[in-house]
A and B are shown apart, each in its own frame.
Chain A
């Protein structure tokens, strides 16, 4: 595949790690806490674990896994809405595979499917539109979620449905936008980040100038990064170099895919179909102003929320969940009391355990099991958990 092997070359990784080591030694002199770099995008979280990048990096660098996995931040109430839609008799509910197992307050889409709801996994929203064409007697709903990376695809699908006059297709829009989210994180007081790895594929759509405020107002370096191991290491090195040279700029490591100006065709489609919501509820992070979009009045007939009069109900996350603290990088996934016990990829309690882009699932699947066990023992997490299961069994 194009530029996959080239960006996995171990020889070049070695060069980068040597440079990173040297910079860290220089920067750590006189510092008493690790260098914290947040990767905003879940795709990076996945790559970091898949290739064991965290274990390659010096211990003085801490990667904080940010909120950029759209499946993980989906609130329970919204999953319940999906189930409600899927259970309407004449509806074919279509979704990306990642969303199937996200727990709602009563069930996940997968459970709804096993109980007889017509839920189908599709690769593309265009496949959902085709299903609508093939099943004129049914209502086909597509579950639109994701950041600006997937937003153009659903917007263009709505535009195509309009152009072809397909009336039995609608979109349940749960898209979220990256900038207000990063801003909310930067404004949260617990946080002490030193820099960011910028989301490669979101940037390809919105362009790199959107991040200027991070460099200018918050004085944090941000490097837009690709998803191969060398991309991530290269970007980490670029962030460290900025810190070393006292710069805070927006740089682009992933220029082979991300043009600085973004993608105008995609942005136009987004602008035609969507408008900002006043606020949007996130799992773990609470409500963030202007962090979601909805379908404009003009395209109301393609809006599943209006078509089926969905009344979103807010449902609190389970008490034992610490997804919010993990998302903000305040605690590490293995520090959550239910990690690996009540909450595993097979039976996720929190959404971070569901998708391979979620920090908890990534730790669970690729983390150093023994090290995690020792760390948990050190903070007494397993004892706490043992007590909990016993209590649960007793009740």
Chain B
């Protein structure tokens, strides 16, 4: 119930009530997108966006830049570890 699921907005079905068709792993469902649209924003602008869907409501847009940044931190961690391992290996040789 509390776990959301990522989906992609494919079309707007009712712009007054802010309803959109969202594709979640190939299954399409009408979802309320009011929470991810700013007041002054055109509803159409969210088509193609990835959102997190909770019990029929899109609750957040998934931010690609932030996702990439988090993954980068983890990558860097690996690189540092590999470098350290290489240093140790050459030091003990």
- Say how far B88's CB is from chain A's closest CB, in angstroms: 13
Quick check: A3 and B6 within 8 Å, CB to CB?
yes
With a CB–CB cut-off of 8 A, which chain B residues contact A80?
A: none
With a CB–CB cut-off of 8 A, which chain A residues contact B50?
A: 2
B35 within 8 A of A: yes
How many Å lie between the Cα of A156 and that of B37 in the bound state?
A: 14
With a CB–CB cut-off of 8 A, which chain A residues contact B55?
A: 96, 123-125, 150, 153
Quick check: A153 and B56 within 8 Å, CB to CB?
yes
With a CB–CB cut-off of 8 A, which chain B residues contact A18?
A: 81
Quick check: A255 and B70 within 8 Å, CB to CB?
yes
Quick check: B63 and A256 within 8 Å, CB to CB?
yes
B10 within 8 A of A: no
How many Å lie between the Cα of A19 and that of B84 in the bound state?
A: 12
Interface size on B, residues (CB 8 A): 36
CB-nearest residue of chain A to B8: A2
A230 within 8 A of B: yes
Quick check: B2 and A146 within 8 Å, CB to CB?
yes
Quick check: A253 and B70 within 8 Å, CB to CB?
yes
A266 within 8 A of B: yes
Quick check: B54 and A257 within 8 Å, CB to CB?
no
Please provide the chain A residues from 109 to 162 with a CB less than 8 Å away from any CB of chain B in the complex.
123-127, 146-147, 149-150, 152-153, 156, 160
Quick check: B2 and A70 within 8 Å, CB to CB?
yes
Kindly supply a per-residue 1/0 record for chain B positions 38-79, scoring 1 wherever the CB is within 8 Å of any chain A CB and 0 otherwise: 000000000000101011110110111011011101110110
Kindly supply a per-residue 1/0 record for chain B positions 10-35, scoring 1 wherever the CB is within 8 Å of any chain A CB and 0 otherwise: 00000001000000010000001011
B89 within 8 A of A: no
Quick check: B32 and A204 within 8 Å, CB to CB?
no
A330 within 8 A of B: no
Quick check: B75 and A227 within 8 Å, CB to CB?
no
Quick check: B77 and A15 within 8 Å, CB to CB?
yes
Kindly supply a per-residue 1/0 record for chain A positions 263-284, scoring 1 wherever the CB is within 8 Å of any chain B CB and 0 otherwise: 1011000000000000000000
How many Å lie between the Cα of A160 and that of B6 in the bound state?
A: 24
Quick check: A257 and B60 within 8 Å, CB to CB?
yes
Which listed residue, A4, A11, A149, touches B2 by the CB 8 Å rule? Answer: A149
A34 within 8 A of B: no
Kindly supply a per-residue 1/0 record for chain A positions 349-371, scoring 1 wherever the CB is within 8 Å of any chain B CB and 0 otherwise: 00000000100000000000000
B93 within 8 A of A: no
Which listed residue, A9, A12, A97, A152, touches B57 by the CB 8 Å rule? Answer: A152
- B residues engaging A (CB < 8 A)? 1-6, 8, 17, 25, 32, 34-37, 50, 52, 54-57, 59-60, 62-64, 66-67, 69-71, 73-75, 77-78, 81
- A residues engaging B (CB < 8 A)? 1-4, 6-7, 9, 11-12, 15-16, 18-19, 41-43, 46, 68-71, 96-98, 123-127, 146-147, 149-150, 152-153, 156, 160, 201, 204-205, 227, 230, 234, 253, 255-259, 263, 265-266, 357
